[in-house]
Homo-oligomer: A and B are copies of this chain.
Amino acid sequence: MTTQQDLFESVKEQTLLLQLSALSGWDALTGMPKDAGHFRAEVDAYLAEKTFQLSTGAKREKLLINLEADGSTLDDLGQLVLEKARKDFDLTGKISEEDFVAFQKTLSQAQDFWAQAREANDYQIFKPYVEKIIGYLKQFMPLWQTNEKTPYDVLLNQYEPGLTVAKLDHVFEQVKKGVTTLRQRLAESGNIPDDTFLHRRVTKQQQSNYSMAAAQRLGYSLDKGRLDDTIHPFMEALNRDDARITTRWDENNFQMAVLGILHEAGHGLFEQNVDSKYDNARAVLPISMSIHESQSLFNEVMIGRSKEFWTAEYPKLQAEISPVLDDIGFDTFYSGWLKTEPTLIRTEADPLTYPLHIIIRYEIEKAIFNDNIDLAELPALWQAKYKEYLGLDVPDDLTGILQDIHWAGGSFGYFPSYALGHLYAAQFRATMIKTLDFKAIFNSGDYSPIFNWRKENIWRHGGAVDPNKILEEVTGETLNPQYWLDFITEIYENAYGL
Protein backbone atom coordinates (compact mmCIF):
# COMPACT_ATOMS: atom_id res chain seq x y z
CA MET A 1 0.00 0.00 0.00
CA THR A 2 1.23 3.48 -0.87
CA THR A 3 1.12 5.88 2.06
CA GLN A 4 1.53 9.58 2.59
CA GLN A 5 4.98 8.81 4.00
CA ASP A 6 6.08 7.36 0.65
CA LEU A 7 5.07 10.56 -1.10
CA PHE A 8 6.71 12.73 1.54
CA GLU A 9 10.01 10.86 1.19
CA SER A 10 10.01 11.26 -2.56
CA VAL A 11 9.19 14.97 -2.31
CA LYS A 12 11.85 15.42 0.35
CA GLU A 13 14.49 14.03 -1.98
CA GLN A 14 13.27 16.45 -4.62
CA THR A 15 13.61 19.24 -2.06
CA LEU A 16 17.19 18.19 -1.28
CA LEU A 17 18.02 18.35 -5.00
CA LEU A 18 16.36 21.77 -5.13
CA GLN A 19 18.63 23.00 -2.35
CA LEU A 20 21.67 21.84 -4.31
CA SER A 21 20.42 23.54 -7.47
CA ALA A 22 19.79 26.71 -5.49
CA LEU A 23 23.30 26.64 -4.03
CA SER A 24 24.81 26.06 -7.45
CA GLY A 25 22.71 28.82 -8.99
CA TRP A 26 23.61 31.31 -6.29
CA ASP A 27 27.28 30.41 -6.56
CA ALA A 28 27.34 30.72 -10.35
CA LEU A 29 26.17 34.33 -10.05
CA THR A 30 28.20 35.45 -7.04
CA GLY A 31 31.81 34.80 -7.96
CA MET A 32 32.19 31.33 -9.40
CA PRO A 33 35.53 31.38 -11.27
CA LYS A 34 35.12 32.53 -14.85
CA ASP A 35 36.55 29.38 -16.45
CA ALA A 36 34.38 26.97 -14.46
CA GLY A 37 31.18 27.41 -16.47
CA HIS A 38 31.59 24.29 -18.60
CA PHE A 39 32.00 22.05 -15.56
CA ARG A 40 29.10 23.74 -13.81
CA ALA A 41 26.82 23.29 -16.81
CA GLU A 42 27.34 19.54 -16.46
CA VAL A 43 26.61 19.60 -12.74
CA ASP A 44 23.44 21.64 -13.26
CA ALA A 45 22.30 19.35 -16.05
CA TYR A 46 22.86 16.38 -13.77
CA LEU A 47 20.75 17.91 -11.01
CA ALA A 48 18.04 18.78 -13.52
CA GLU A 49 18.09 15.23 -14.83
CA LYS A 50 17.78 13.74 -11.36
CA THR A 51 14.99 16.16 -10.47
CA PHE A 52 13.22 15.39 -13.70
CA GLN A 53 13.41 11.65 -13.09
CA LEU A 54 12.17 12.05 -9.55
CA SER A 55 9.25 14.39 -10.31
CA THR A 56 8.10 12.79 -13.55
CA GLY A 57 9.34 9.22 -13.43
CA ALA A 58 7.33 6.03 -13.30
CA LYS A 59 7.89 5.75 -9.56
CA ARG A 60 6.37 9.16 -8.87
CA GLU A 61 3.52 8.46 -11.25
CA LYS A 62 2.69 5.29 -9.40
CA LEU A 63 2.75 7.14 -6.07
CA LEU A 64 0.33 9.72 -7.45
CA ILE A 65 -2.04 7.21 -8.99
CA ASN A 66 -2.12 5.05 -5.88
CA LEU A 67 -2.72 7.95 -3.52
CA GLU A 68 -5.34 9.45 -5.80
CA ALA A 69 -7.13 6.08 -5.71
CA ASP A 70 -6.75 5.61 -1.95
CA GLY A 71 -6.07 8.75 0.08
CA SER A 72 -6.88 7.22 3.45
CA THR A 73 -3.41 7.97 4.85
CA LEU A 74 -3.46 11.60 3.70
CA ASP A 75 -3.89 14.48 6.11
CA ASP A 76 -4.37 18.09 4.92
CA LEU A 77 -0.69 18.54 4.17
CA GLY A 78 -0.58 15.20 2.40
CA GLN A 79 -3.56 16.17 0.25
CA LEU A 80 -1.91 19.48 -0.67
CA VAL A 81 1.42 17.87 -1.50
CA LEU A 82 -0.36 15.28 -3.62
CA GLU A 83 -2.16 17.96 -5.63
CA LYS A 84 0.96 20.02 -6.14
CA ALA A 85 3.09 16.99 -7.05
CA ARG A 86 0.45 16.03 -9.62
CA LYS A 87 0.56 19.54 -11.10
CA ASP A 88 4.35 19.33 -11.21
CA PHE A 89 4.14 15.92 -12.85
CA ASP A 90 1.73 17.09 -15.53
CA LEU A 91 3.83 20.16 -16.30
CA THR A 92 7.25 18.60 -16.82
CA GLY A 93 6.13 15.04 -17.38
CA LYS A 94 4.95 15.89 -20.86
CA ILE A 95 8.45 16.74 -22.03
CA SER A 96 10.85 13.95 -22.91
CA GLU A 97 13.72 13.55 -20.48
CA GLU A 98 16.21 14.10 -23.27
CA ASP A 99 14.64 17.43 -24.23
CA PHE A 100 14.32 18.50 -20.64
CA VAL A 101 17.97 17.84 -19.83
CA ALA A 102 19.11 19.54 -23.05
CA PHE A 103 16.93 22.54 -22.18
CA GLN A 104 18.41 22.82 -18.69
CA LYS A 105 21.92 22.62 -20.11
CA THR A 106 21.06 25.36 -22.58
CA LEU A 107 19.79 27.54 -19.73
CA SER A 108 23.01 27.01 -17.81
CA GLN A 109 25.12 27.92 -20.83
CA ALA A 110 22.86 30.85 -21.68
CA GLN A 111 23.47 32.44 -18.29
CA ASP A 112 27.19 32.11 -18.86
CA PHE A 113 27.01 33.67 -22.31
CA TRP A 114 24.64 36.35 -21.09
CA ALA A 115 27.33 37.43 -18.62
CA GLN A 116 29.98 37.29 -21.36
CA ALA A 117 27.77 39.24 -23.74
CA ARG A 118 27.32 41.90 -21.06
CA GLU A 119 31.07 42.10 -20.58
CA ALA A 120 31.55 42.58 -24.31
CA ASN A 121 28.40 44.78 -24.57
CA ASP A 122 27.37 42.64 -27.52
CA TYR A 123 23.97 40.97 -27.86
CA GLN A 124 25.24 38.79 -30.71
CA ILE A 125 27.14 36.64 -28.17
CA PHE A 126 23.91 35.91 -26.32
CA LYS A 127 21.60 35.79 -29.37
CA PRO A 128 22.04 32.10 -30.32
CA TYR A 129 21.14 31.06 -26.78
CA VAL A 130 18.04 33.21 -26.41
CA GLU A 131 16.83 31.87 -29.75
CA LYS A 132 17.53 28.32 -28.67
CA ILE A 133 15.55 28.88 -25.47
CA ILE A 134 12.59 30.36 -27.36
CA GLY A 135 12.77 27.40 -29.73
CA TYR A 136 12.52 24.96 -26.86
CA LEU A 137 9.61 26.85 -25.29
CA LYS A 138 7.70 26.90 -28.58
CA GLN A 139 8.30 23.18 -28.82
CA PHE A 140 7.08 22.57 -25.25
CA MET A 141 4.08 24.93 -25.19
CA PRO A 142 1.66 22.73 -27.17
CA LEU A 143 2.42 19.96 -24.65
CA TRP A 144 1.57 22.25 -21.73
CA GLN A 145 -1.49 23.83 -23.31
CA THR A 146 -4.83 22.81 -21.77
CA ASN A 147 -7.59 25.36 -22.23
CA GLU A 148 -5.47 28.50 -22.69
CA LYS A 149 -6.64 30.61 -25.61
CA THR A 150 -3.26 31.89 -26.84
CA PRO A 151 0.25 30.40 -26.73
CA TYR A 152 1.58 33.18 -24.48
CA ASP A 153 -1.27 32.45 -22.04
CA VAL A 154 0.37 29.06 -21.53
CA LEU A 155 3.53 30.72 -20.23
CA LEU A 156 1.69 33.34 -18.15
CA ASN A 157 -0.34 30.60 -16.53
CA GLN A 158 2.81 28.84 -15.32
CA TYR A 159 3.83 31.80 -13.20
CA GLU A 160 0.36 33.00 -12.22
CA PRO A 161 -2.54 30.56 -12.24
CA GLY A 162 -5.35 31.83 -14.48
CA LEU A 163 -3.50 34.85 -15.86
CA THR A 164 -4.33 35.63 -19.49
CA VAL A 165 -3.41 38.09 -22.21
CA ALA A 166 -7.02 39.29 -22.13
CA LYS A 167 -6.85 40.13 -18.40
CA LEU A 168 -3.40 41.69 -18.64
CA ASP A 169 -4.30 43.82 -21.64
CA HIS A 170 -7.14 45.23 -19.57
CA VAL A 171 -5.15 45.80 -16.34
CA PHE A 172 -2.19 47.25 -18.19
CA GLU A 173 -4.50 49.62 -20.08
CA GLN A 174 -5.83 50.99 -16.79
CA VAL A 175 -2.32 51.28 -15.35
CA LYS A 176 -0.94 52.89 -18.50
CA LYS A 177 -3.73 55.46 -18.50
CA GLY A 178 -3.31 56.30 -14.82
CA VAL A 179 0.49 56.58 -15.11
CA THR A 180 0.29 58.73 -18.22
CA THR A 181 -2.18 61.14 -16.64
CA LEU A 182 -0.10 61.45 -13.48
CA ARG A 183 3.16 61.91 -15.41
CA GLN A 184 1.53 64.70 -17.42
CA ARG A 185 0.28 66.46 -14.27
CA LEU A 186 3.77 66.26 -12.72
CA ALA A 187 5.35 67.61 -15.90
CA GLU A 188 2.82 70.42 -16.16
CA SER A 189 3.45 71.42 -12.54
CA GLY A 190 6.88 72.62 -13.63
CA ASN A 191 8.31 71.33 -10.33
CA ILE A 192 11.51 69.37 -10.87
CA PRO A 193 12.91 68.02 -7.59
CA ASP A 194 16.64 68.40 -7.04
CA ASP A 195 18.22 64.96 -6.67
CA THR A 196 21.85 65.85 -7.31
CA PHE A 197 22.67 64.98 -3.68
CA LEU A 198 21.70 61.37 -4.38
CA HIS A 199 24.81 61.20 -6.55
CA ARG A 200 27.23 62.31 -3.87
CA ARG A 201 29.86 59.69 -3.16
CA VAL A 202 28.90 57.13 -0.51
CA THR A 203 31.29 54.20 -0.05
CA LYS A 204 30.14 50.66 -0.61
CA GLN A 205 30.76 49.97 3.07
CA GLN A 206 28.55 52.86 4.20
CA GLN A 207 25.80 51.85 1.78
CA SER A 208 26.01 48.30 3.03
CA ASN A 209 25.96 49.34 6.69
CA TYR A 210 22.85 51.46 6.33
CA SER A 211 20.94 49.18 3.97
CA MET A 212 21.54 46.01 5.94
CA ALA A 213 20.62 47.74 9.20
CA ALA A 214 17.36 48.93 7.64
CA ALA A 215 16.67 45.49 6.17
CA GLN A 216 17.19 43.96 9.59
CA ARG A 217 14.87 46.50 11.23
CA LEU A 218 12.25 45.23 8.79
CA GLY A 219 13.00 41.73 10.05
CA TYR A 220 15.50 40.22 7.59
CA SER A 221 17.75 37.88 9.59
CA LEU A 222 21.45 37.55 8.83
CA ASP A 223 21.51 34.34 10.85
CA LYS A 224 19.38 32.95 8.04
CA GLY A 225 20.86 34.89 5.15
CA ARG A 226 23.84 36.75 3.73
CA LEU A 227 24.62 39.53 1.29
CA ASP A 228 26.80 39.09 -1.80
CA ASP A 229 27.78 41.11 -4.84
CA THR A 230 26.44 40.20 -8.25
CA ILE A 231 25.69 41.69 -11.66
CA HIS A 232 21.90 41.41 -11.58
CA PRO A 233 20.58 41.29 -8.01
CA PHE A 234 18.42 38.39 -6.88
CA MET A 235 17.44 36.43 -3.78
CA GLU A 236 18.11 32.71 -3.65
CA ALA A 237 16.68 30.58 -0.86
CA LEU A 238 18.09 27.13 -0.24
CA ASN A 239 15.65 26.73 2.64
CA ARG A 240 13.93 28.94 5.23
CA ASP A 241 17.17 29.20 7.22
CA ASP A 242 19.27 30.12 4.22
CA ALA A 243 17.72 32.90 2.14
CA ARG A 244 20.56 34.82 0.51
CA ILE A 245 20.32 38.26 -1.00
CA THR A 246 22.61 39.95 -3.51
CA THR A 247 23.19 43.47 -4.72
CA ARG A 248 25.33 45.63 -6.96
CA TRP A 249 26.93 48.92 -5.97
CA ASP A 250 27.48 52.35 -7.43
CA GLU A 251 29.37 54.67 -5.10
CA ASN A 252 27.82 57.63 -6.93
CA ASN A 253 24.25 56.37 -6.62
CA PHE A 254 23.52 54.96 -3.20
CA GLN A 255 19.77 54.91 -3.85
CA MET A 256 20.24 51.90 -6.12
CA ALA A 257 21.73 49.63 -3.44
CA VAL A 258 19.47 50.93 -0.65
CA LEU A 259 16.28 50.17 -2.58
CA GLY A 260 17.78 47.07 -4.18
CA ILE A 261 18.69 45.59 -0.81
CA LEU A 262 15.26 46.44 0.65
CA HIS A 263 13.74 44.69 -2.38
CA GLU A 264 15.78 41.49 -2.12
CA ALA A 265 15.37 41.47 1.66
CA GLY A 266 11.61 41.46 1.02
CA HIS A 267 12.01 38.22 -0.92
CA GLY A 268 14.27 36.92 1.83
CA LEU A 269 11.76 37.80 4.55
CA PHE A 270 9.13 35.74 2.78
CA GLU A 271 11.37 32.66 2.55
CA GLN A 272 12.71 33.00 6.08
CA ASN A 273 9.21 32.99 7.54
CA VAL A 274 7.48 30.13 5.79
CA ASP A 275 5.97 27.67 8.25
CA SER A 276 8.39 24.86 9.09
CA LYS A 277 5.73 22.27 8.29
CA TYR A 278 6.46 22.86 4.60
CA ASP A 279 10.24 22.33 4.96
CA ASN A 280 10.46 19.01 3.20
CA ALA A 281 7.88 19.78 0.54
CA ARG A 282 9.37 23.03 -0.75
CA ALA A 283 10.12 21.49 -4.15
CA VAL A 284 6.42 21.10 -4.95
CA LEU A 285 5.31 24.22 -3.06
CA PRO A 286 7.18 27.02 -4.81
CA ILE A 287 5.99 30.50 -3.89
CA SER A 288 4.26 32.12 -6.87
CA MET A 289 6.21 34.89 -8.55
CA SER A 290 3.59 37.61 -8.18
CA ILE A 291 3.12 37.19 -4.46
CA HIS A 292 6.88 36.91 -3.97
CA GLU A 293 7.29 40.16 -5.86
CA SER A 294 4.49 41.74 -3.84
CA GLN A 295 6.66 41.29 -0.75
CA SER A 296 9.92 42.52 -2.28
CA LEU A 297 8.04 45.49 -3.73
CA PHE A 298 6.24 46.08 -0.45
CA ASN A 299 9.70 46.62 1.05
CA GLU A 300 11.02 48.63 -1.85
CA VAL A 301 8.00 50.77 -2.76
CA MET A 302 5.25 50.66 -0.13
CA ILE A 303 7.88 51.17 2.57
CA GLY A 304 11.01 52.33 0.75
CA ARG A 305 9.27 55.16 -1.11
CA SER A 306 6.86 56.16 1.65
CA LYS A 307 7.03 59.36 3.62
CA GLU A 308 6.26 57.58 6.93
CA PHE A 309 9.30 55.33 6.60
CA TRP A 310 11.74 58.05 5.59
CA THR A 311 10.55 60.44 8.26
CA ALA A 312 11.87 57.89 10.75
CA GLU A 313 14.77 56.51 8.73
CA TYR A 314 16.28 59.64 7.21
CA PRO A 315 18.12 60.69 10.38
CA LYS A 316 19.56 57.15 10.58
CA LEU A 317 20.74 57.31 7.00
CA GLN A 318 22.20 60.78 7.56
CA ALA A 319 24.10 59.57 10.62
CA GLU A 320 25.50 56.48 8.89
CA ILE A 321 26.88 58.39 5.90
CA SER A 322 27.59 61.69 7.65
CA PRO A 323 28.53 64.31 6.56
CA VAL A 324 27.29 63.46 3.05
CA LEU A 325 23.69 64.55 3.59
CA ASP A 326 24.11 66.77 6.64
CA ASP A 327 23.09 69.85 4.64
CA ILE A 328 19.99 68.28 3.08
CA GLY A 329 16.71 68.80 4.92
CA PHE A 330 14.03 66.12 4.98
CA ASP A 331 11.65 67.72 2.45
CA THR A 332 14.44 68.20 -0.07
CA PHE A 333 15.57 64.62 0.53
CA TYR A 334 12.12 63.11 0.10
CA SER A 335 11.36 65.11 -3.05
CA GLY A 336 14.69 64.04 -4.55
CA TRP A 337 14.17 60.44 -3.44
CA LEU A 338 10.93 60.33 -5.46
CA LYS A 339 12.04 62.31 -8.49
CA THR A 340 10.62 60.54 -11.51
CA GLU A 341 12.54 60.28 -14.73
CA PRO A 342 12.50 57.70 -17.48
CA THR A 343 15.48 55.33 -17.36
CA LEU A 344 16.94 52.77 -19.72
CA ILE A 345 17.38 50.16 -16.99
CA ARG A 346 14.27 48.53 -15.55
CA THR A 347 15.79 47.88 -12.13
CA GLU A 348 16.80 51.55 -11.87
CA ALA A 349 13.32 52.77 -12.74
CA ASP A 350 11.21 54.66 -10.23
CA PRO A 351 7.86 53.17 -9.22
CA LEU A 352 5.94 55.47 -11.52
CA THR A 353 7.72 54.59 -14.77
CA TYR A 354 8.45 50.98 -13.76
CA PRO A 355 5.20 49.52 -15.13
CA LEU A 356 6.09 50.89 -18.57
CA HIS A 357 9.25 48.74 -18.57
CA ILE A 358 7.09 45.72 -17.80
CA ILE A 359 4.55 46.59 -20.45
CA ILE A 360 7.38 46.82 -23.03
CA ARG A 361 8.63 43.34 -22.11
CA TYR A 362 5.09 41.98 -21.98
CA GLU A 363 4.38 43.24 -25.48
CA ILE A 364 7.67 41.86 -26.83
CA GLU A 365 7.08 38.44 -25.30
CA LYS A 366 3.53 38.44 -26.58
CA ALA A 367 4.89 39.26 -30.04
CA ILE A 368 7.43 36.42 -29.83
CA PHE A 369 4.98 33.73 -28.81
CA ASN A 370 1.63 34.91 -30.21
CA ASP A 371 2.78 36.70 -33.37
CA ASN A 372 5.91 34.66 -34.09
CA ILE A 373 7.94 37.72 -35.03
CA ASP A 374 11.38 37.35 -36.61
CA LEU A 375 13.78 36.98 -33.66
CA ALA A 376 16.46 38.94 -35.50
CA GLU A 377 14.20 41.95 -34.93
CA LEU A 378 14.28 41.76 -31.12
CA PRO A 379 16.92 44.46 -30.50
CA ALA A 380 15.21 46.80 -32.96
CA LEU A 381 11.82 46.13 -31.36
CA TRP A 382 13.30 46.79 -27.94
CA GLN A 383 14.70 50.11 -29.14
CA ALA A 384 11.46 51.15 -30.82
CA LYS A 385 9.36 50.49 -27.71
CA TYR A 386 11.73 52.36 -25.39
CA LYS A 387 11.47 55.31 -27.76
CA GLU A 388 7.68 55.09 -27.90
CA TYR A 389 6.88 54.49 -24.21
CA LEU A 390 9.69 56.26 -22.41
CA GLY A 391 11.01 58.62 -25.07
CA LEU A 392 14.51 57.17 -24.78
CA ASP A 393 17.13 56.21 -27.36
CA VAL A 394 18.82 52.93 -26.40
CA PRO A 395 22.52 53.50 -27.01
CA ASP A 396 23.83 49.93 -26.64
CA ASP A 397 22.94 46.35 -25.70
CA LEU A 398 24.13 46.59 -22.13
CA THR A 399 21.56 49.27 -21.29
CA GLY A 400 19.09 47.65 -23.66
CA ILE A 401 18.19 44.07 -24.35
CA LEU A 402 21.03 42.56 -22.28
CA GLN A 403 19.97 44.17 -19.00
CA ASP A 404 17.79 41.35 -17.62
CA ILE A 405 18.85 37.82 -16.77
CA HIS A 406 15.30 36.46 -17.09
CA TRP A 407 15.38 35.32 -20.69
CA ALA A 408 18.73 33.61 -20.09
CA GLY A 409 16.94 31.63 -17.38
CA GLY A 410 14.08 30.73 -19.70
CA SER A 411 11.67 32.87 -17.68
CA PHE A 412 9.41 34.14 -20.45
CA GLY A 413 6.02 35.04 -19.01
CA TYR A 414 7.58 36.08 -15.73
CA PHE A 415 7.84 39.87 -16.19
CA PRO A 416 4.09 40.56 -15.77
CA SER A 417 4.40 39.11 -12.26
CA TYR A 418 6.47 42.16 -11.31
CA ALA A 419 3.59 44.42 -12.27
CA LEU A 420 1.11 42.22 -10.41
CA GLY A 421 3.50 42.35 -7.47
CA HIS A 422 3.18 46.15 -7.41
CA LEU A 423 -0.59 45.95 -7.53
CA TYR A 424 -0.84 43.24 -4.86
CA ALA A 425 1.54 45.14 -2.58
CA ALA A 426 -0.62 48.27 -2.74
CA GLN A 427 -3.77 46.29 -2.12
CA PHE A 428 -2.22 44.60 0.93
CA ARG A 429 -1.09 47.97 2.22
CA ALA A 430 -4.57 49.41 1.89
CA THR A 431 -5.83 46.63 4.15
CA MET A 432 -2.95 46.93 6.62
CA ILE A 433 -3.39 50.64 7.25
CA LYS A 434 -6.94 50.03 8.40
CA THR A 435 -5.44 48.54 11.58
CA LEU A 436 -1.77 49.57 11.61
CA ASP A 437 -0.54 53.13 12.01
CA PHE A 438 2.59 53.03 9.82
CA LYS A 439 3.73 56.48 10.87
CA ALA A 440 3.60 55.62 14.58
CA ILE A 441 5.25 52.25 13.99
CA PHE A 442 8.20 53.65 12.07
CA ASN A 443 8.62 56.48 14.56
CA SER A 444 8.72 53.95 17.41
CA GLY A 445 11.76 52.21 15.88
CA ASP A 446 10.08 48.83 16.46
CA TYR A 447 8.79 47.64 13.10
CA SER A 448 7.58 44.29 14.40
CA PRO A 449 3.82 44.98 14.02
CA ILE A 450 4.36 45.21 10.25
CA PHE A 451 6.62 42.13 10.30
CA ASN A 452 4.06 40.17 12.31
CA TRP A 453 1.14 41.13 10.06
CA ARG A 454 3.01 40.05 6.95
CA LYS A 455 4.22 36.83 8.53
CA GLU A 456 0.76 35.92 9.82
CA ASN A 457 -1.20 36.84 6.69
CA ILE A 458 1.21 36.05 3.90
CA TRP A 459 4.66 34.59 4.53
CA ARG A 460 3.84 31.59 6.68
CA HIS A 461 1.73 30.08 3.88
CA GLY A 462 4.73 29.81 1.58
CA GLY A 463 3.56 28.33 -1.69
CA ALA A 464 0.71 26.41 -0.12
CA VAL A 465 -2.01 28.89 -1.02
CA ASP A 466 -2.48 30.51 -4.45
CA PRO A 467 -1.79 34.27 -4.54
CA ASN A 468 -5.30 35.11 -5.77
CA LYS A 469 -6.74 33.31 -2.82
CA ILE A 470 -4.46 35.00 -0.29
CA LEU A 471 -5.25 38.36 -1.83
CA GLU A 472 -8.97 37.79 -1.61
CA GLU A 473 -8.92 36.32 1.88
CA VAL A 474 -6.71 39.04 3.29
CA THR A 475 -8.08 42.10 1.49
CA GLY A 476 -11.65 40.95 0.95
CA GLU A 477 -11.68 41.61 -2.78
CA THR A 478 -10.14 40.51 -6.08
CA LEU A 479 -7.31 42.35 -7.78
CA ASN A 480 -8.04 46.07 -8.02
CA PRO A 481 -5.30 48.24 -9.64
CA GLN A 482 -6.90 51.37 -8.19
CA TYR A 483 -5.12 50.87 -4.83
CA TRP A 484 -1.78 51.08 -6.57
CA LEU A 485 -2.79 54.11 -8.62
CA ASP A 486 -4.03 55.83 -5.45
CA PHE A 487 -0.82 55.13 -3.54
CA ILE A 488 1.46 56.18 -6.36
CA THR A 489 -0.54 59.35 -6.92
CA GLU A 490 -0.37 60.19 -3.22
CA ILE A 491 3.41 59.82 -2.89
CA TYR A 492 4.20 61.68 -6.11
CA GLU A 493 1.78 64.51 -5.42
CA ASN A 494 3.40 64.79 -2.03
CA ALA A 495 6.96 64.80 -3.37
CA TYR A 496 6.12 67.23 -6.16
CA GLY A 497 4.14 69.53 -3.88
CA LEU A 498 0.85 69.20 -5.72
Contact = CB atoms under 8 A, between A and B. Distances in A.
Interface string A312-356: 000000000000000000000000000000000000000000000
Interface residues of A, number: 32
A24 B13 CA distance: 17
Nearest to A42: B16
A241 B27 contact: no
A226 interface: yes
Contacts of A239: 36, 39
A42 B221 CA distance: 22
Given A16-B43, A42-B16, A46-B13, A241 B33 contact: yes
Contacts of A32: 226, 242
Interface of A, helix, strand, loop or mixed by DSSP: helix
A277 interface: no
Interface string A1-44: 00000000000010010011001100100011111101110110
A224 interface: yes
A67 interface: no
A35 B238 contact: no
A16 B50 CA distance: 12
Contact of A224 (B23, B36, B221): B36
B20 A43 contact: yes
A43 B21 CA distance: 11
Contact of A242 (B23, B33, B225): B33
Most chain-B CB neighbours within 10 Å: which of A36, A226, A242, A279?
A36
A441 interface: no
A223 interface: yes
A398 interface: no
Contacts of A221: 35
Nearest to A228: B31
A231 interface: no
A40 B224 CA distance: 12
Contacts of A38: 241
Nearest to A243: B33
A450 interface: no
A39 B36 CA distance: 26
Interface string A41-53: 0110011000000
A16 to B, nearest CB: 5
A222 interface: yes
Contacts of A16: 42-43, 46
A241 B42 contact: no
A224 B33 contact: yes
A153 B317 CA distance: 62
B24 A226 contact: no
A19 B35 CA distance: 15
Contacts of A241: 33, 35-36, 38-39
Given A33-B225, A36-B224, A242-B33, A20 B24 contact: yes
Interface of A: 13, 16, 19-20, 23-24, 27, 31-36, 38-40, 42-43, 46-47, 221-226, 238-239, 241-242, 244, 279
18 contacts: A16-B46, A20-B43, A23-B23, A23-B24, A23-B27, A33-B222, A33-B223, A33-B224, A33-B242, A34-B223, A34-B224, A35-B221, A35-B241, A36-B224, A36-B239, A36-B241, A39-B241, A39-B242
* A-B complex: 9 closest residue pairs judged by Cβ atoms: A36-B242, A35-B241, A39-B239, A36-B241, A16-B46, A34-B223, A35-B223, A35-B224, A33-B242
Given A16-B42, A20-B43, A39-B241, 16 more contacts: A13-B46, A16-B46, A19-B39, A20-B24, A20-B47, A23-B24, A23-B27, A31-B226, A32-B226, A33-B222, A33-B224, A33-B241, A33-B242, A34-B223, A35-B223, A36-B224
